[in-house]
Amino acid sequence: MSPLLVVAFLLVAAGGAVVVWTREPSRQAVVLSVYGVLLTVLFVLVQAPDVALSQVAVGTAIVPLMVLLAVRKVRGGKQ
């Protein structure tokens, strides 16, 4: 296993812990987006470009956006 892959695994593990420990939902959505980027890098390093592309689209952009929109709706933001 290459050192770069070990670093990527450690960053993904640390990023997952940060997502779980973040309490405010809007900040958690931003941290989740950064976590999606870390996963994308990991998928590229393990030579899974199709999964990496899906992760960029869904995990980095769409899911955090949906969380932010849901938080805004629950808190009674502008419609």
| pLDDT tens-digit readout, 41-64 | 999 999 999 999 999 999 888 998
DSSP at 24: S
Query: What average pLDDT is seen over the chain?
Result: 91
Domain assignments of the chain as residue spans, ordered by start: 23-74
Q: If we measure between CA atoms, which residue out of 31, 33, 42 comes closest to residue 6?
A: 42
How many other β-carbons are positioned within 10 Å of the β-carbon of residue 53?
A: 13
pTM summary value: 0.85
DSSP string, 40-65: HHHHHHTT-HHHHHHHIIIIIIIHHH
Residue 25: pLDDT above 60?
yes
* DSSP character at residue 19: H
